[in-house]
Amino acid sequence: MNEQENMPLIGDKFPEMEVNTSHGTIDLPNEYKGKWFLLFSHPGDFTPVCTTEFYAFQKRYDQFKELNTELIGLSIDQVHSHLKWTEWIKDNLGEEIEFPIIADGRGKVAEKLGLLHHTGGTATVRAVFVVDPESKIRSILYYPAELGRNMDEFLRIIKGFQKADEEGVAIPANWPENELVGDDVVMPPAGSEEMIEKRRKQEEKGEIECYDWWLCHKKS
């Protein structure tokens, strides 16, 4: 079984690795211990969609940091390419890229994370790993080369995970603008008759609202 088949999955600890970046050597995931981080790969520097993505990430960097979240990019380019590209973005688009970008020239990091397409080629796929403060992978998302990512969705993902962890709840579709429950959060499914009865009492007291005992929601 090769490294591609052993790629990390949701719930796994992010694999330990020392990476060379535009900000120097970084020890992952220990560099971000106690913080959330998004590691996102892109096919290559000096490409149109990737440029719009990095610009969009940087425009929201302060919002990510407010959520105790760091950003780190990755592609199979050399450090000098990353530095020249970010310099171009600063000079021509007016945004200085403040987060590091992994220079995975030999593709070892991309191979370990399953970011190289099985049909061959050297460009990394568009992927995002969301990693929590305990270095656990909480979400993995993939995008095709022609479709740029939505950075506001990543902010929503981080906010949703943090709320779910803090309150022991689940996050509904399109939260915080869900079509059924608005900005409410969803109660986990009841796992016993005792819990069902407890939910009914909570509903009677107005603590929660339910469509049925298995579909209950409440204000966050």
The catalytic residues are 50
pLDDT at res. 56: 98
pLDDT at res. 41: 95
pLDDT at res. 120: 52
Tokens representing 101 are 């970008």
78, amino acid identity: Q
Block residue for tokens 């962890």: 165
Topology of domain 17-149, CATH: Glutaredoxin (3.40.30)
Closest CA to 185 of 206, 168, 171: 171
pLDDT at res. 4: 44
At residue 202, what are phi and psi to the nearest 5 degrees? -65, -35
pLDDT at res. 121: 55
3-state SS assignment for residue 189:
coil
Closest CA to 36 of 214, 163, 125: 163
Contact 115, 142 (CB under 8 A): no
Q: How many DSSP H helices and E strands does the chain contain?
A: 6, 10
pLDDT at res. 2: 46
Neighbours of 88 (CB within 10 A): 13
Which regions in the chain score pLDDT beneath 70?
1-6, 117-123
pLDDT at res. 118: 58
Topology of domain 168-220, CATH: Antioxidant, Horf6; Chain A, domain 2 (3.30.1020)
Q: Where in the chain is the domain with CATH 3.40.30.10?
A: 17-149
3-state SS assignment for residue 196:
helix
3-state SS assignment for residue 58:
helix
Residue 165 CA to its chain's centroid (Å): 15
Q: In whole angstroms, give the CA distance from residue 42 to residue 202.
A: 48
